[in-house]
Every structure is written in C-alpha cells, then in structure tokens.
Amino acid sequence: MIRALLVCACFFGAITGYAQTPVPPPSGNAQPTAPPTTPRAWSSLSPQQQQLLQTYQGKWDSLPADRQQALAKGSQRWISMTPQQRAGAQQRFSQWRAMPPEQRQLVRQRYQQFKALPPERQQEVRESFNRFRQMPPATRQQLRQQWRQMTPEQRHRAVQGMHGAPAPHRVPR
C-alpha cells in the first residue's frame, strides 16, 4: 500500500511541477510523428471561437497550421466547459505561468513519459493519483516526506517492486 501511495505522490509531484530532479527523455521509444496539419480558415471557426480568439484574427493566416489547430481545439474545449471547469482551468494556467521555464520543461518531459506508457499502465497511474488526491492533506504530506527521505535506489526499487518494471524517478516536494 505504501508503495502505491508513494508512486501516487511521485506522479502528483510531476504533474503539479514540484519535481526536483530532471529526468532524461525516454530512450528508444520514439513516438510516431503526427501527419502535417492543413491551415484552417478563420471563417471556419464558430462565432464563439472567433470571439474567444479575436486577438489572433489579424494574424491568423500567418500562424502555423498546427498552432491554428491547437487554438481552434482549445477554444472549442473552453466553450464546452462549465463555469467551474473554466475557473479550475484558469487557476491551473496561472500556476503554470508562475513556474520557471526549467520546471515547465520538466513537467512536459514527464507528461511525454506518461503518454509513452501502455494504456493499462497509464490507467494504473491515474487510479493511484486519484487515491492520493483523496487522502487527507496530512497523509499526503507524510508520504511526500517519506519519499524525500528515500535514496534514489530505494525510490526506484519501490516503483519497480510495485509494477515489476523500471519506471522514471519522480520526486515530489
């Protein structure tokens, strides 16, 4: 149980950006590159999307196609959110912007590592993370403290012992 909770704490640290030790990118498991995207016309956006993205209207045609697609997708997602979801997204965005660039890069790397995991392993990590989030704050803090006191080898063994396969180190604060 402690191992599961420690892995949960590790994942929590990676996602919230509280990591202390950089992790090299995964080796040998190169993700296939996405097919090139085609430019999107401003007029193809819904009126709601155009309103949300109005600051881009004058330069829309000069944006790379993948940036246009990302903005269109993000605006559609925003439109479909409830007010509570929007408030949470704004809070997370503020936290992201407050992070130093190195910390953001580390979170991006760890996200890519997570996405490279097999779907069943991703689900295990999500479930562990959700169990961790449901714990009382004092328990979460105690687990973080235990994790910090472990050596890198002990952390690696704890994660490996839980799943029988090596996993990247994650260090919460």
Domain map (residue ranges) of the chain? 2-27+38-163
pLDDT in tens, 119-155: 999 999 999 999 999 999 999 999 999 999 999 999 8
- What is the pLDDT confidence band of residue 35, given thresholds at 50, 70 and 90? low
* Residue 149 pLDDT: 94
Cα(64)–Cα(60) distance, integer angstroms: 9
Check if the beta carbon of residue 106 is closer than 8 Å to that of residue 25.
no
* Residue 163 pLDDT: 61
Check if the beta carbon of residue 42 is closer than 8 Å to that of residue 57.
yes
* Residue 146 pLDDT: 92
Exposure pattern of 25-61 as b/e (b: 16+ CB <10 Å)? eeeeeeeeeeeeeeebeeeebeeebbebbeebeeebe
Assess whether pLDDT exceeds 60 at residue 166: no
Q: Identify the residue whose tokens are 């590790």.
A: 10
Residue-wise DSSP of 53-95:
TGGGGGGGGGS-HHHHHHHHHHHHHHHHS-HHHHHHHHHHHHH
Nearest to 134 by CA among 45, 3, 5: 5
pLDDT in tens, 54-96: 999 999 999 999 999 999 999 999 999 999 999 999 999 999 9
With the C-alpha atoms ordered 149, 153, 159, 162, is the resulting torsion angle positive or negative? negative
- What is the pLDDT confidence band of residue 33, given thresholds at 50, 70 and 90? low
Assess whether pLDDT exceeds 70 at residue 167: no
Cα(171)–Cα(40) distance, integer angstroms: 41
- What is the pLDDT confidence band of residue 169, given thresholds at 50, 70 and 90? very low
Assess whether pLDDT exceeds 60 at residue 23: no
Average pLDDT of every residue of the chain: 80
Distance from the first to the final alpha carbon of the chain: 20
* Residue 18 pLDDT: 36
